[in-house]
Structure 1
Amino acid sequence: MNKRAIGAIIILMSAALLGIAVIQWFWIKRAVDLNEENFEGRVLTALSRIKDNLLSDENLFENLDILKPGINNPFADSGDGFLQRKRLREAKEISLLLNTESAFDKTLKDRLDKHVKQQFIEQGINLKYDYGVYSKENEGFIILNGNYTVVPSGIIEASDLGSSLEQSLYDSRYEIPLFKIDETLKLYFPTKNSLLWADVLPQMISSIIFTSLVLFCFIYTLSVIFRQKKISEITNDFINNMTHEFKTPIATISLAADSINSPVIIKEEGKIRKFIGIIKQENKRMLNQVEKVLQMALLEKDDFELKFTGVHMNEVVSLASQNAELQVAHRDGQISIDLNASPDLIEGDITHISNIINNLLDNANKYSPESPEIRVSTENAKQGVEVRIQDKGLGMSKDAIKHIFDKFYRVHTGNRHDIKGFGLGLSYVKAMVNAHNGTIKVESEPGKGSEFTLFFPYRQ
């Protein structure tokens, strides 16, 4: 998949995710707005009924005040018995109202508090609230939550509830004028938003969960695409390298075979032996490359057996270093060896342990631009032996270190194209170290070289 197709997929999926998120937010916000409209309707209904009830109380008091003089003297200005008896009956009926006067003979704050609680119960408003009566004449609240904040004549109780509450009430849109033009009843609900959002909380949580799942799948899909793209690039690189690795020995064998068939060469036994030696060497080289690929295939399937025996790491490191020294010396380099581990006996497969050291020494040589300087050492560690292989070569970036043990991965070397290989060496090293219950660590900086530290447990 090319970069343009991947870019198009990212744009389309991002747009789809953004569209889903916006639509879901619109639905949730619409549900909250509907809840708020419903809540506001109930609050306004409660305010209207509170005002009506307070007006009814005031009208009743006014009627009682008008009737009191006549009730106190029911026979006044009566000229005959019939009129007296009629007024007597009216006086008895009105006296029933006077008996209830004590129930209504409460201050405004008490009646207001009673009506607020009653109407909230009737309207199903089960929410923390604050209320107050604002007076334009006093330029402030004269009642807050059932308490006077100023002292009217004849009333001795008062309360100061603070400017924060007063400001919240003053800014509230839930209000209604009372008896006087300059007095307004105001309501404030500090937890209103929590109530409005609580109803849509299940939908919001489910929306977030499903959107997150889609987002996770989107990210995972992208990671798979990029991983497959990287694998494809690595595989193509492997095929190109493999073709090059096989092409050279095949061409050499072909030239050697043609030379043997030459009438001039066929008569000289020494030259024939020389060309036969070249053919065998190149054939062995190809077999080694094929063996590496087959080994990695077996490692992938875990289809291999290790022949564990006692292995002396100092001997293995010494022999591998001697074999690599010829190639290093050919490039005017050197290998220094410090064999300090004692005891050095571990349990492992001698063939694979040797291959591990050979691969690391080969890499140290290949990735040193000129005059390689390689240091190999063994040391005792807790419950095992450590082998360190250091070079002063090209080094690696932190990103490269993360991938060097991946199959077919090869460190980029800029404009250098003379470093051969399939990218299987370190993958094989990592797999074999794990199979021996060991560990491998890498430290490297670009331009300063690399250090590989191997650990193998002692033989039990």
Structure 2
Amino acid sequence: MKKVYPLIIALITFSVLGILYIQLSWIKNARIVKSEEYLRDLEKTVLGVRSLCYNSFINAEGYNPEQLDEANKEYLLITKFTAQAISPEEMNMIIVRAMKNQGIKQPFEYCVTNLYNNPISASKGFESSMFAESVDIRLSPPMSPQTETFFLYVKEPQNYITRQMASMIIASIFFTIIIISAFALTIRTMLRQKNISEIKSDFINNMTHELKTPLATISLAVDALNNEKVIHDPEKIRYYGGMIKEENRRMHKQVETILQAAKLEKQEDLNLSVQSLDAHAAIDKVAKNLSLQIQEKSGELHLNLMAGKSFVDVDEMHFSNIIFNLLDNAIKYSKDAPVIHITTQVVNGMLSIKIKDNGIGMSRETASRAFEKFYRAHTGNLHNVKGFGLGLSYVKNMVEAMNGHIKLESALGKGTTFTILMPLSKHNND
């Protein structure tokens, strides 16, 4: 399965890049086609100008172009036609009409030259440099002794062709963005599913390990109770019975931890019994309960409960569990002898509880994910660290459920500091 994800990502990436290449090629080719179409429209325009000039000249001679037969029309044009007979205003109207017929609305300049390339009629803005960029056509009839050439210069603005294709380009960019977004979302979803799958596997492995040990102990204790030598020894029966009870309590706690995590998924299922509680007393009580564990590891726990106001509105059980989890983590993730400091003070109208340890610390990545459910950091050689990865997730959810905030600061090899901010109770003012 691990090889499938990279293959799928590579195939999708290749497909998206292929689509982008095709899109860019299509836009490039479409622009070329549009440019060629534009040049054809200009050629049709000058053909239209010549035709309209002929009709204008015939009208000026007193004939109707539609009623005059082709032979007489051709004779008249060959013998008498010249662009000089058409006024600049009339020529301007002819060009506008011819351009309009081809859908061209850009500003223009024009010039008509004779056999010697000397201008005989031109717009005011036409310059000699425009000849090279103009579209030209012989204005005189083929058999005419005169040779007059019409030059049309259209002032094409920068990116005119691109602007003509604006709707297609915008649509192409829009759908390309959708494709890329869908691709990114797909990759993100795949990686997230992969991560969830790994977390699920880790959770199952951790849960199996956590439940296997007490079950094995209970099994051994039950076998011992069936031993003939133990049946008649009340002291050993109490010993093994106490062992079974302790391991059963341990399994019950683990199951409750998992069930509690499930309840935290839905805030409405939390039945918090919020009341005014002396945080200092609750912290001191939890510290005493864990003092034996700290002593077994030759550690130290320093309480610096200096806050002038210590009453907070919290659920007593969950608040104690929060402190217990953070202290338990500080003990579990210590190098050798844990040194833990708990400090309290009032900050911006809230009670700040700071728990600092000298443990193995966390990397930046681990610290950013520490509060994620089921996430467990790699602990190197600390194989004795057990759990489901639910402790800090529970802590964060419960702190926020009681309108508090929590943050952590950590560095590898330098320990970790958790800071909890809880709202002060009105009881402090009594």
Superposition TM-score, scaled by structure 1 size: 0.74
Based on CA coordinates, which of the two structures has the bigger radius of gyration? 1
The equivalent residue for 1:395 is: 361
Q: Matched residue pairs, number?
A: 399
Q: CA deviation at 1:278?
A: 2.1
Query: 1:405 and 1:290 mapped to 2: Cα distance?
Result: 20
Pair 114,435 (structure 1): closer, same or farther in 2 beyond 3 Å: closer
Residue 105 of structure 2, aligned match among 123, 126, 143 = 126
**2:5 aligns to what?**
6
Aligned mates of 2:120, 2:324 — CA distance in 1: 94
Matches within 5 A, 1:265-276: 265-276=230-241
Structure 2 CA distance, aligned partners of 1:130 and 1:442?
Answer: 73
Q: Is residue 118 of structure 2 the alignment partner of residue 146 of structure 1?
A: no
Letter in 2 for 1:335: L
Verify: 1:280 aligned to 2:245, yes or no. yes
Mapped to 2, the partners of 1:124 and 1:310 lie a distance apart of 81
Would the alpha carbon gap of residues 142 and 261 (structure 1) be closer, same or farther in structure 2, given more than 3 Å must change? farther
- Cross-structure match for 1:43: 42
Look up the equivalent residue of 2:337 and give its one-letter code. S
For structure 1, which segment, 389-398 or 428-437, has the greater mean C-alpha deviation from structure 2 after superposition?
389-398
Q: Say yes or no: does 1:223 pair with 2:188.
A: yes
**Structure 1 residue 458 displacement after superposition:** 1.5
Shift, 1:366, TM fit: 1.1
Asked whether the 8 Å contact 1:110–1:146 carries over to 2, the reply is no
Other structure's SS at 1:441 match? strand
Give the conservation status (yes or no) of the 8 Å contact 1:178–1:185. no
Q: Which residue of 395, 405, 411 maps to 1:429?
A: 395
Q: SS where residue 229 of structure 2 aligns?
A: coil
> CA contact under 8 A between 2:43 and 2:135: conserved in structure 1?
yes
For the residue of structure 1 that corresponds to 2:383, the secondary structure is coil
**CA distance 1:123–1:207, shift in 2 (3 Å):** closer
The structure-2 alpha-carbon separation of the partners of 1:173 and 1:11, relative to structure 1 and needing over 3 Å to count, comes to farther
CA-CA distance at 1:422 after TM superposition? 0.7
Deviation, 1:205, is 2.4
* Residue ranges of structure 2 left out of the alignment (5+ in a row): 58-81, 141-145
Out of 332, 341, 351, the residue aligned to residue 375 of structure 1 is: 341
Structure 1 residue aligned with 2:14: 15
State how 1:272-351 maps to structure 2 within 5 Å: 272-302=237-267, 303-351=269-317
What secondary structure is seen at the aligned counterpart in 1 of 2:387? Answer: coil
Please tell me whether the aligned partners of residues 46 and 119 of structure 1 are also in contact (alpha carbons under 8 angstroms): yes
1:130-183: CA deviation from partner (whole Å, max 9, x where unpaired): 66799xx99xx9999625869xxxxxxxxxxxxxxx5xx4763745689999x9
State the alpha-carbon separation in 2 of the partners of residues 56 and 27 from structure 1: 43
Secondary structure at the counterpart of residue 264 of structure 1: helix
Matches within 5 A, 1:78-117: 104=85, 117=96
Aligned to 1:357: 323
- Tell me how far 1:411 sits from its aligned partner: 1.1
**What letter is aligned with 1:120?**
M
Mind listing any 5+ residue stretches in structure 1 that lack a counterpart?
A: 59-100, 151-165
Q: Which amino acid aligns with 1:222?
A: I
Scaled by the length of structure 2, the TM-score of the pair is 0.79
